[in-house]
Structure 1
Amino acid sequence: MYLGDEAWPDLETYFETESLALVPLGSTEQHGPHLPEATDHLIAEAFAREVADRTGYLCTPTITVGVSGHHRQFHGTMWVEPPVFRQYVESLTRNLTSHGIDRVIYVNAHGGNVPHLREVGARLRLDETAFAIEWMWDESIPELVDDLFEQNGPHGGPKETAMIQYLESELVHDDRLEEARDTGVPDVDAAEGIKYGSRTFYDAADNTENGVLGDQTDATPEKGRQLFEAASDQFVQLCEWLAAQPFEDLLPKDHV
């Protein structure tokens, strides 16, 4: 069920009988010369809508701009400062709890959002308002990602390329895949951003001239389909597990 499509009287039954909501989040940021800036939030929304359709759980509108200041050197990247992002996500989540939601899954497709979503979730759990957790599609199927791609990125690499080829093929510049590979870097080690145990980089531009890593020519729509279906199955199982938990079991443990 997509919240934005419903009239308010038709949502009453859901809020009376269910306590779980899915909140898709991503970014609007550079993904190399071949992918749209919407890549992350398109992927997040696709998963949230798919699983909402399969399970009947509520999907909210998508948060399309995230913590992306580390991509700011590239044209068109949009971002908000981390405290603003955390405050917005927390306020939105508390809004959901006013309707009776007490557990939330942040359907996240942007790595830069992760620590901030974790912080928000921890605060909401600590004051026993809600249990909110973050889910990333590729982290639910790491073996499949490794099996399909020799150099999988992470950013703007073949796994994200394959996903957008499958979901929104018309937005992919397939004629630029070789350019993306040849003017980027193959992997994190090749970027040489870690020296003597220290992360010496702050921005994507410190590591890669064109903003991306990996071998984008290894992506295909069929691989994207495999990724999407496998991760969707994992996400469905997470939803069913979370919905079945007694709320008190999700709260912080008592002091020893």
Structure 2
Amino acid sequence: MTVEAKYLSRDAFAERIAKFPAVILPLGATEQHGYHLPLGVDIILAEALATRIAEATGATVMPAMPFGYSWVWRDAPGSVTVEARTLEDVICQTAESLARHGVRHVFLVNGHEANSATMKYAARRLWDHPDIKVWRLFYPNLTAVMAEHCESPNWHGIVHACEFETSLMLAVAPNLVDMEKAVREYPDRDRGYFQGGRPMGELSRSGVFGDATLATAAKGEAMLEIFTQSMADAVREVCAGK
């Protein structure tokens, strides 16, 4: 049986929740990822991880949230941004809706770094809710995993359209990756971005922050396996505590 709620009938959904009262809500974004990757990278990766985690635990995957706070790419064709508070409200209202149907835990599997603060605030808003909790999952132990499996450094702690994300995409959706267009770009560190309000879109010519040319499917699969195991362990641990 599928783990994805969008393919389940109401009875099939209720049956799954009765057995395991947890859902996974993939959080993505629609924004530029260089010329070699599609706009939906963050959605695709969040959905891929969510499905793997659900298959390992018995959780049910809700339809992905396709938009995030992508203001930094506001001028790049196809990029869509929503206010962080809007996304926070959607997460909370989704969780409150699901609580009415017996869901006790909502695990946010995130593919978009800028969603992280919003996830935290949503989890805090519902922490005292009597029936449901929200939990945050985003590439656990990312620095260590990248150090082990990636050859290139990230750009000042940020991953975007680089070796890391490109490798993950080669593992889950290689047909959507055009490695002939992959490039290496490390824009100069910019005070306006790190200490002001300048959007990332003004810093990079290619939209890549790092070295996408070194990406491979093998690297991506190795990292996905690590992330899946860690996140699945978290889901089991939380749900075991009810």
TM-score, with structure 1 as normaliser? 0.86
**CA deviation map 1:127-173 (0-9, x unaligned):** 44422121112x33431211222223511110000011111111111
Does residue 157 (structure 1) correspond to residue 159 (structure 2)? The answer is no
Cα offset, 1:67, TM superposition: 1.1
Distance 1:33 1:12 in 2: 42
Specify the alignment match of 2:200 in structure 1: 204
The letter for the 1-side match of 2:160 is H
Shift of 1:244: 0.8
Gaps of 5+ in 1: 247-256
Structure 1 position 191 matched with structure 2 position 188 = yes
Query: Greater helix percent: which structure?
Result: 1
**What residue number does 2:147 align with?**
146
Equivalent in the alignment of 2:216: 220
Query: Equivalents in 1 of 2:8, 2:70: separation in Å?
Result: 31
Please tell me whether residue 243 in structure 1 is matched to residue 235 in structure 2: no
Shift of the 207–201 alpha-carbon distance from structure 1 to 2, 3 Å rule, reads farther
Shift of 1:105: 0.8
How far off is 1:28 after superposition? Answer: 0.7
CA shift, 1:199, in A, is 1.6
Equivalent residue of 1:125, what SS? Answer: coil
Structure 2 gap ranges (5+): none
Q: Is the 8 A contact 1:201 1:207 kept in 2?
A: no
Q: Which of 158, 167, 173 matches 1:168?
A: 173
Distance 2:7 2:188 in 1: 44
Q: 1:129 to 1:12 in 2, by over 3 A?
A: closer
User: Is the Cα contact below 8 Å between 2:20 and 2:58 reproduced in 1?
Assistant: no
Asked whether the 8 Å contact 1:146–1:152 carries over to 2, the reply is no
Cα distance in 2 for residues equivalent to 1:48 and 1:121: 18
Distance of 1:159 and 1:82 partners within structure 2: 25
Per the TM alignment, residue 223 of structure 1 is displaced from its structure 2 partner at its CA by 0.5
Deviation track 1:21-40 (CA, whole Å, cap 9, x = no partner) reads 11111101001111111100
Letter in 2 for 1:91: Q
Q: Distance in 2 between matches of 1:112 and 1:88?
A: 16
1:119 equivalent in structure 2: 121
Indicate how the Cα distance of structure 1 residues 129 and 123 shifts in structure 2: closer, same or farther if over 3 A, else same. farther
In structure 2, C-alpha distance between the alignment counterparts of 1:151 and 1:76, rounded to whole Å: 28
- For 2:197 and 2:146, the matched residues in 1 are separated by 25
What TM-score results when the alignment is normalised by the length of structure 2? 0.91
Structure ID, larger Rg: 1
Letter in 1 for 2:145: L
Q: How far is 1:203 from its partner?
A: 1.0
1:191 deviates by: 3.0
Cα pair 1:193 1:200 within 8 Å, conserved: no
DSSP 3-state at the match of 1:134:
strand
Separation (CA, whole Å) in 2 of partners of 1:204 and 1:65: 18
The residue that corresponds to 1:89 in the other structure is: 91
- Tell me the secondary structure at the aligned position of residue 62 of structure 1: coil
Task: Give the Cα separation in 1 of the matches to 2:35 and 2:13.
Answer: 42
Length, aligned pairs only:
236
Cα distance between partner residues in 2 of 1:33 and 1:202? 22
> Structure 1 residues 17 and 148, CA, compared in 2 at 3 Å: closer, same or farther?
closer
Q: In structure 2, what is the Cα distance between the partners aligned to 1:116 and 1:128?
A: 21
CA contact (8 A) 2:162 2:210 kept: yes
Choose which of 100, 103, 121 in structure 1 pairs with 2:102.
100
8 Å Cα contact 1:106/1:134 also seen in 2:
yes
Alignment partner of 2:121: what SS? helix
1:251 maps to: none
